[in-house]
Chains A and B, each alone.
Chain A
Amino acid sequence: MISLEVQNNQSFDLSVIPFLSKEDFRNSVLEGMVCGYRMIGLTPLNNDEPEKLISILADARSSMIHLTGGVFDKNDLKFESFANLFPQTNYFECELAENHGYMLLNHPWLRPVRKQNMISGNKPYQFYKIDGEEIHEVAVGPIHAGVIEPGHFRFQCHGELVYNLEINLGYQHRGIEKLLLKSNSSQSIVLAESIAGDTVIGHSYAHCSAIESLSKTQISLRAQVIRSIAEEIERAAMHLTGLGGVANDIGFSLVASSYGRLRTLVINSLALICGSRFGRGLFVYGGVRFDLNDEMVNSILNNLQIVRDDVEAVNQYLFSSIGALARFENTGVVQNELAAQVGLVGLAARSCGIEEDARIHFPYGAYRYSPVSLINLSGGDVFSRARLRAMEIDESLRFVIDQLENLPDGEIKTNFGNVESNQGVIAIVEGWRGEIVHTVFTNDEGNLSHYKIKDPSFNNWYGLSLALRKTAISDFPLCNKSFDLSYAGHDL
């Protein structure tokens, strides 16, 4: 495979990316994927030059990221789709077609990603339909009965059984990638924080890592540890929210409110550090804005110790309740092979038995020195996803308590230089939901010229569709909550 090999957060000169001809590009990318690499990006060099396409493949075994470029004819942007052989590229190709007008030959199922009327002459997109006397179609959303984000779901059902679910998103599109190119440095962090409101730390971490790599800024060990502490606190808090949501969806109100109470303690710990319960304002280029003092460390330790003990009791209660287990087990199953084929990431992948965790496979920040353990379950059902989250809470709390007890000394913020020109970087962060990828390129003047964000929700929404096959429609909310995907993160 002809490619540029880089590590996570390693900046590289744009001129060293090999740009191949159409055929060589195809062969090289196919070769990579045959070796088991996973696509994490398919994006042009910048929006003005859609003909220079870059495919970004990640190899978990060697912790390397492979970039391969391809040059196409500007007036005839088309290539043979990879999706027939490697379904994981399907959604990336749809996005490419939608954003940059590529024609994909023999694509199995070209569907809109964020815009409702895309391909084929601005005609409204026709949903996949099943015909038959007893088939009925249920359309849910984009306006829902509860206060949740907008998304449209089309179910093709036979009685209570779902045969196909199609998910249509894009109602939250804010143009973040374009805004990031136009904004100054103090605005960018705020923008990055609001990519997905529940992954503030994850996205601002990825954004800061990318910009710091581009400007060759080294951040201190203390700042790295504080960042990881914040990330793990966010993970624990969101897993508690998710478990509470799952319990609430089966009407298990005692457990749901217990998780809610514990989550408050966890997010309050984050507020102790930076004043925001969601961690807004903690990250700056070159480190973190707020330092930890002994008093804070003690009260956070105190909080987390309480959470640790109580979570154990609540988990015990939830996962030994027959009613809850009857709802969780064998509901919304995604088979291991299928999950690997469509390229699920993060907790959805780990609950299907796929070993995948960017903190371990593409280590960054403090995880290079203090590793976390990889937690993996093989069921692929709602139970596995819920149980995995419960186990990850334990691991996150262990990590945070360990780190707080051994905080390294040092500055929390180093001087931040200027972004260098004609550079590129790929920053991978394991957010609580899964792998977050920020791909950033700069131009001749040292301004950002291209910014591509991939939230884990981008990969995993299709997993939800798969989970719903041959599942009762009344179990949809439970499955949805067990995946706990972001609409805003997908829509950008």
Chain B
Amino acid sequence: MEIEILQGIISLLIILGFSPLFAGLINKLKAVLTGRIGAPVWQPYYDLKRLFKKETINATVSSFVSRISPVINFVTVAVAATMLPIGFWKPLISFNGDIILFAYILGLARFIQILAAMDIGSSFEGMGAAREATFALFAEPIFFFTLGSVAFISGLSSIYDIYYSIQLNNISYIVFIVICSISAFLLAVTECSRMPVDDPNTHLELTMIHEVMILDNSGIDLFLYQYSGYIKLFIYAILEISFFYPFSAQSYLVGVMIFVIGSFILALTLATVETITSRFKMKNIPQYLLFATAIGILNLLIYTFTK
């Protein structure tokens, strides 16, 4: 029992410690793919350090919501992180039904951030909040038609158990899992405000979705937002990579290797997608998200009928 708790704590520390590195890796790969040298992979750590040292300034019109939002955001994302397995180590929080907790604790983070964005009354932030809320509405079903469908098939409802139950003995099941992972990738792109839904590098406040909501934050508040952003990206990366754990034949060591290699491949995929695609028109984003949901639904139906 103690060893499991220890493993859970180590998993959490890995997520907290390496999430900025993952973001840095994507940026580095993106730079390399476009023929530039790019910032070092450690750049997100430098950024966080810089923000940590800076003074925090709040808008004079802001209420307590703006002050508590960064903390709640960070805590909720960190709690979500404790539910995810790294390799085949049991996560710190794992119980039947934690898949629902996972989905809605991230929802809570978004809810409080949207409130905080509207708190200041800036027209940009209101616009960003409206966009974030709209697209979240379309993104939510994707989660339940990917990980949720696996849960439905296996009859389990804990994230760890769901991933643990994935077996590779059946060809139609493999196809099912691979397609789930594609849907989950589209979800990760949306949730982490990456291209082609949102452009993390844009400086144009009118086109931003996620970034515009934190325009008025500074210092430690911005540090928490940025850090939770990195963690969230890593969380969705793990959700994606975990689909491929069965290939490790349930060995710890191979599981960890798959985790490392998987992270790298995912970073490369994200960087490639961001290099060769352009952003969608804002009004086309819901279609894109519905497309991912449709894949999930079809996948589930086809698997259920061909099983």
Give A contacts to B, CB under 8 Å: 136-140, 144-146, 160, 247, 249-254, 256-258, 261, 321, 323-324, 326-327, 331, 472-477
Residues from chain A with a CB closer than 8 A to the CB of B30 are 253
From known contacts A250-B279, A251-B279, A257-B34, infer whether A477 and B274 are also in contact, taking CB-CB under 8 Å: no
A474 touches B207 (CB 8 A): yes
User: Across the interface, do A138 and B123 meet the contact criterion of CB distance under 8 Å?
Assistant: yes
B276 sits at the interface (CB 8 A): yes
Q: Which residue among B123, B196, B278 has the maximum number of chain A CB atoms within 10 Å of its CB?
A: B278
Assembly CA distance A138 to B208 (angstroms): 14
CB closest chain-B residue, reference A321? B278
The residue that B202 contacts in the complex, of A136, A251, A258, A472, with Cβ under 8 A, is A251
CB of B64 to closest CB in A, whole Å:
25
Distance in angstroms from B139 CB to nearest chain A CB is 18
The distance in angstroms between the C-alpha atoms of A252 and B196, with both chains bound, is 9
Q: Are B34 and A251 in contact (CB under 8 A)?
A: no
Distance of A313 from chain B, by nearest CB (Å): 14
- Assess the A327–B279 pair: CB atoms within 8 A: yes
| Bound: A90/B275 CA distance, A | 44
Asked whether any CB of chain A lies closer than 8 Å to the CB of B281, the reply is yes
| Contact code string B37-69 (vs A, CB < 8 Å = 1, else 0) | 000000000000000000000000000000000
CB proximity of A386 to chain B, nearest CB, Å: 12
A233 to B204, CA, bound (A): 29
Q: Which residues of B contact A (CB under 8 A)?
A: 30, 33-36, 123-124, 126-127, 195-196, 199, 201-207, 215, 274-284
- Taking a contact as CB atoms under 8 Å apart, the answer to whether B123 and A137 are in contact is yes
- Which residue of the partner chain B has the closest CB to A476? B206
What residues on A are CB-neighbors of B34 within 8 Å?
Answer: 253-254, 256-258
The answer, among B126, B215, B275, B280, for a CB contact under 8 Å with A323, is B280
Q: Which residues of A contact B201 (CB under 8 A)?
A: 251, 253
Q: A472 touching B283 by the CB < 8 A rule?
A: yes
Partner of A254, one of B275, B282, B284: B275
How far, in angstroms, from A173 to B124 measured CA to CA in the complex?
28
Flag if B279 contacts A257 (CB, 8 Å).
no
Q: In the complex, A443 Cα to B33 Cα: how many Å? A: 61
Query: For residue A160, which residues in chain B have a CB less than 8 angstroms away from its CB?
Result: 282-283
Pick 20 A–B contacts, CB within 8 A, sort by A.
A138-B124, A145-B215, A160-B282, A249-B204, A251-B196, A251-B199, A253-B274, A257-B34, A258-B34, A321-B278, A323-B277, A323-B280, A326-B280, A327-B278, A327-B280, A472-B283, A474-B206, A474-B207, A475-B207, A477-B207
Residue contact B206 to A252, C-beta cutoff 8 Å: no
Q: A138-B124, A326-B284, A474-B282 are in contact. List 12 more A-B contacts (CB 8 A).
A: A144-B205, A145-B203, A145-B204, A249-B202, A251-B201, A253-B274, A257-B34, A258-B34, A324-B278, A327-B279, A474-B206, A474-B207
Q: Looking across the interface, which residue of chain B has its beta carbon closest to that of A247?
A: B278
B33 contacts which chain A residues (CB < 8 A)?
254
Q: Are B284 and A477 in contact, with the CB atoms below 8 A?
A: no
Assembly CA distance A485 to B283 (angstroms): 27
Q: Which residues of the other chain, A, contact B275 by a CB distance below 8 angstroms?
A: 253-254
* Cβ contact within 8 Å between A254 and B123: no
In the complex, are the beta carbons of A146 and B203 less than 8 A apart?
A: yes
Which residue in chain A gives the minimum CB-CB distance to B283?
A472
A138-B206 Cα distance, complex, nearest whole Å: 9
User: Are A477 and B204 in contact (CB-based, < 8 A)?
Assistant: yes
Identify the closest chain B residue to A254 (Cβ).
Answer: B275
Neighbouring A residues of B206 by C-beta, 8 Å: 138, 140, 473-474, 476-477
Find out whether the CB atom of B127 lies under 8 angstroms from the CB atom of A251: no
Using Cβ atoms and an 8 Å threshold, which residues of chain B touch A326?
280-281, 284
B193 to chain A, nearest CB (A): 12
List of B residues within 8 angstroms of A145 by Cβ: 203-205, 215
